[in-house]
Structure 1
Amino acid sequence: MSTRNATVAGRTGCPALFYGWIVVASAFATTFVGFGSAYTFSAFLSSLQAEFAASRGSVSLVFSLAGFLYFALGVLSGPLADRWGARPLLVAGMVLTGAGMALAGMARTLGEVYAAYAIGIGVGVGLAYVPALGTIQRWFVRRRGFASGLAVSGIGVGTLVMPPLASFLIDHWGWRTAYLGLGVGAAVVGVGMALLVADDPRDRGLLPDGDLAPVTPPIGAAASPAVGFGLMEAMKTPRFIALYVACMLASFGLFVPFVHLVPYALDHGIAQASAVLLLGAIGVGSTAGRFLLGNVADRMGREPALILMYAGMAASLVVWLVSTGLPGLAVFALVFGVFYGGCVALLPALVADYFGGKNIGAIIGVLYTGVAVGTLVGPTAAGYIFDATHSYSLVIVASIGGNLVAAAIMWAVSRK
Structure 2
Amino acid sequence: MDKGKRNLTPIPPDGGWGWMIVVACFLTTFFARGITRCISVFFVEFQMQFSQDYSRTAWIHSLVDCTTMLCAPLGSLIGARLSHRIAAILGGVLATIGFVFSSFATTMEHLYLSLGIITGMGFALSYTPAVAMVGIYFRERTALAYGIAMSGSGIGTFLLAPVVQLLIEYYTWRGALLIVGGLLSHLCVCGALMKPLDEREIGSEECQRSECNFLVPVAVTLDTGPSKSFQNHAHQLCPPLKADFLLLSLSFFFLACGCTVPFVYLVPYALGVGLSNQQAAILMSILGVTDIVGNITFGWLADRKCWRPCRLASYMLAVGLEGLSCLLVPVLQGFPGLLAFVLLYGYFDGAYVALIPVVTSDIVGPAYLSSALGLVYFLHAVPYLISPPIGGWLLDTTGSYTAVFFLSGSCLMSSSVALAILALHRSRVKPGKLTRIGFNIPVIAFTNLSNMG
Equivalent position of 2:292 in the other structure:
287
Alignment match, 1:373? 382
Q: How many Å apart are 1:192 and its aligned residue?
A: 1.1
Task: Tell me if structure 2 keeps the 8 A contact 1:156–1:284.
Answer: yes
Do 1:225 and 1:358's aligned partners in 2 also have CA atoms closer than 8 Å?
no
Q: In 1, are the aligned partners of 2:360 and 2:369 still within 8 Å (CA)?
A: no
Give 1:72 shift.
Answer: 1.9
1:258 to 252, 263, 286: 263
**1:334-413 paired onto structure 2 within 5 Å:** 334-348=343-357, 350-351=359-360, 354=364, 356=366, 360=370, 363-413=372-422
The structure 2 residue matched to 1:315, chosen from 320, 324, 331, is 324
Change over 3 Å in CA distance of 1:122–1:249 after alignment to 2 = same
Q: Could you give the per-residue CA deviations for residues 31-70 of structure 1, whole angstroms, max 9, x where no partner exists?
A: 1111222222111111111111111111111111111111
2:167 counterpart of 1:162: no
Superposed, 1:48-87 pairs within 5 Å as: 48-82=46-80, 84-87=82-85
> Which residue of the partner structure matches residue 192 of structure 1?
189
Match of 1:42 among 40, 43, 46: 40
Give the residue type in structure 1 aligned to 2:380. Answer: V
Match of residue 14 from structure 1: none
Find the counterpart in structure 1 of residue 340 from structure 2: 331
Compute the TM-score of the two structures, normalised by the length of structure 1: 0.83
Matches within 5 A, 1:94-109: 94-109=92-107
> Are the aligned partners of 1:282 and 1:334 in contact in 2 as well (CA < 8 Å)?
yes
Provide the rounded CA distance (Å) in 1 between the counterparts of 2:358 and 2:142: 6
Q: What residue ranges of structure 1 are gaps of 5+ in the alignment? A: 1-5, 12-16, 207-214
Change (3 A) 1:224 1:347: closer
Q: Is the 8 A contact 1:104 1:117 kept in 2?
A: yes
**TM-superposed deviation, 1:84:** 4.6
Which residue is 1:277 aligned to? 282
Contact 1:37 1:121 in 2 (8 A): no
Residue 106 of structure 1 aligns to a residue whose secondary structure is coil
Amino acid at match of 1:87: R
When residues 305 and 394 of structure 1 are mapped into structure 2, their CA distance, relative to the original with a 3 A threshold, is: same
The answer (yes or no) to whether the contact 1:37–1:186 under 8 Å persists in 2 is: no
Alignment of 1:144-183 (within 5 A): 144-183=142-181
Shift of 1:113: 0.9
Cα separation, partners in 2 of 1:98 and 1:275, compared to 1, 3 Å: same
Match of 1:116 among 114, 117, 125: 114
Q: Note if contact 2:37-2:263 (Cα within 8 Å) is conserved in structure 1.
A: yes
In structure 1, the residue matched to 2:19 is: 21
- Is this contact kept in 1: 2:324–2:413, CA < 8 A? no
* Pairs within 5 Å for 1:235-250: 236-250=241-255
In structure 2, do the counterparts of structure 1 residues 32 and 337 end up closer, same or farther at CA, with 3 Å as the change threshold?
same
SS where residue 39 of structure 1 aligns? helix
**2 CA distance for matches of 1:51 and 1:87?**
38
My pick for the range that moved more, 265-274 or 37-46, is 37-46
For the Cα contact (< 8 Å) 1:98–1:184, is it kept in 2? yes
**Structure 1 counterpart of 2:273, one-letter code:** H
Listed one character per residue, the Cα deviations across residues 306-359 of structure 1 (whole Å, up to 9, x for unaligned) are 323312312322342431111111111122112212322333455566454798
Mapped contact 2:254–2:412 kept (Cα < 8 A): yes
Any conservation in 1 of the 2:25–2:131 contact (CA below 8 Å)? yes
The answer for the alignment partner of 2:273 in structure 1 is 268
For residues 296 and 401 of structure 1, the distance between their equivalents in structure 2, rounded to whole angstroms, comes to: 27
What does residue 3 of structure 1 align with? none
Structure 1 residue 414: Cα displacement: 4.6
Greater helix proportion: 1
Q: What code does the residue aligned with 2:27 have?
A: A
Question: In structure 2, do the counterparts of structure 1 residues 139 and 265 end up closer, same or farther at CA, with 3 Å as the change threshold?
Answer: same
| CA drift at 1:304 | 4.1
Asked whether the 8 Å contact 1:64–1:375 carries over to 2, the reply is yes
Greater Cα shift, 171-180 or 119-128:
119-128
Cα 1:331/1:371, change in 2 over 3 Å = same
Change (3 A) 1:246 1:31: same
TM-score w.r.t. the length of structure 2 is 0.77
Conservation of the 8 A alpha-carbon contact between 1:61 and 1:379:
yes
